[in-house]
Chain A
Amino acid sequence: MPTNALDVSDLTVAYKEKPVLWDIDLTVPPAVLLAVIGPNGAGKTTLIKSILGLIPTVAGSVRIYGRPYKEQRKQVAYVPQRGTVDWDFPTSVLDVVTMGLYGTLGWLKRPGKKEKKLAMEALEMVAMQDYAHRQISQLSGGQQQRVFLARALVQQAEIYFMDEPFQGVDAMTEKAILRLLKDLRSAGKTVIVVHHDLQTVPEYFDWVTLLNTRLVANGPMEEVFTEANLEKAYGGRFMQLKATARALP
């Protein structure tokens, strides 16, 4: 049996006393493009952050490619939600992307020519090379998103965790980002994406995790992305969504 890219078992997370994730068991095979979906407050961001050790867990363990997460950090790349940093920070686009290499650089070593070159290549992959020396406050939302993507690409990881990378980007950028994610999957990488737009899920992804505090379903698109499961995850809201979708031209 080939090793799973991601194994989460018995994961439970609570803020203060309220449980936000309850007993999540999740396995993800390698080389899939996975959508994590669920209503607002379902715990999608929390799931990613707790897998990455950014928030304390009540219980649970995480294995990446068969080994504990702590030993596998170099295999993991992370694209946080855009709004989590101060975009008025005095630094340039190239500098932010170079931060993706701090993990391999290690303590005290400064990024040099080699790192700058790798960062430039990552910027070219997201078509942002012309902005390399811009101050980051002079970027649009979609450009900020692409800078964060480039920072993750430069990490040369095996598994990518992305929190809403399509949030607030225009249709062109969305297509470009999608192309990039599909290329990663073709290269054998595993890409885990928190996604909000149910309409595009079947078209973009090949694996789905449905979440609402508990794990509702997890598996290949055609098996899991069913009306029954969606209703379980979204409850009454799903019916409303469907009605709205039908009302659209």
Chain B
Amino acid sequence: MIELFNNLFFDHTLRTVALGAGALGIVSGALGSFAVLRRQSLLGDAISHAALPGIALAFLLTGNKSALVLLSGAAIAGAIATWLVTNIAGLTRVKYDSALGIILSVFFGFGLVLLTYIQKQPNANQAGLEKYLFGQAAAIVEKDVLIMAGLGLVALFLLFLFWKEFKLLSFDRDFGTTMGYPMALIDFVLTTLLVLAIVIGLQTVGVVLMSAMLIAPAVAARQWTDNLAIMVLLAAFFGALAGVSGTVASSTISRMPAGPAIVVAVSFLVVLSILFAPRRGVIWQRGRDYLLRQRFRALGGKKDV
């Protein structure tokens, strides 16, 4: 245990990776809260899967493998996917969830095709893109962490700045419109921040598992509080906790990749929260039902009610 903490503080690589994963957890937890409350969990999944062809195309067009270039491609592809989902649902008879499913699989499939094509190129530079599938935290260097932290700070600052507007959008969009707020614009900004949060996580967690980092911390946090601000803070904390502990776990278990370890850690938090949270937790509710029934019976009530 002590050795573990020593490593976390003094092992440069581990510290870098843990910092990156922690930053990713904070940002995805905070923004994921809004996605969950707006019932857009699946949009996050579609956006992150849709990032894959963006990454591949960015590499094919520029021949450059730097994170900034590839993640820009990811962001653009994510934005296009979001735009398509909204318009397919709005302009055709296709339902929103079907539109999500179509875009997710079409983009992801196309991404896989491009990835295969790139790997078949007789070019020494081609290897390494497949790490964006499940993430490769170990390959993260200081510069990547700086990019992640920079983007994350921007996202969190905008979230703080437009807090009131985002809350209005999430609770009662029409009411906001009647007060004169441009709700479509506010929606656009919030969704852009969601894309940003996803892009931040792609190197560590990868396109396949990224949506878990958006949904799971928020779902866990919702169990413990009825206050939006506390929920967002708690989700950020859970995200960071999972990020750091997943990284540490993967460093102690050989051949254990960090991305999946982080997702397992965050799932663990969800299970704990769903079971044990006061009031909303399963055990609490079962216990309360049991006590009520006992009291009712003590008052001489019938057994089956």
Residues of A with Cβ closer than 8 Å to B?
49, 52-54, 73, 76, 78, 80, 84-86, 89-92, 96, 99, 102-103, 105, 107-111, 135, 137, 151, 155
Contact = CB atoms under 8 A, between A and B. Distances in A.
Interface in B1-56: 37, 39
Interface residues of B, number: 26
16 contacts: A54-B178, A78-B174, A78-B175, A80-B175, A89-B170, A89-B171, A91-B227, A99-B172, A102-B168, A102-B176, A103-B181, A107-B165, A108-B161, A137-B226, A151-B175, A155-B179
Nearest to A108: B161
A80 B172 contact: yes
A91 B163 CA distance: 13
Contacts of A110: 163-164
Given A73-B179, A92-B227, A102-B176, 17 more contacts: A52-B174, A76-B178, A80-B172, A80-B174, A80-B175, A86-B171, A89-B37, A89-B170, A90-B228, A96-B171, A99-B167, A99-B172, A103-B180, A108-B161, A108-B165, A109-B164, A111-B164
B174 A54 contact: yes
B227 A90 contact: yes
B172 A84 contact: yes
Contact of B168 (A52, A84, A99): A99
Contacts of A91: 167, 171, 226-228
B70 interface: no
Interface of B: 37, 39, 161-165, 167-168, 170-172, 174-181, 222, 225-228, 231
A78 B177 CA distance: 10
Contacts of B37: 86, 89-90
Nearest to A105: B164
A32 to B, nearest CB: 21
Nearest to B37: A89
Contacts of B178: 52-54, 73, 76, 78
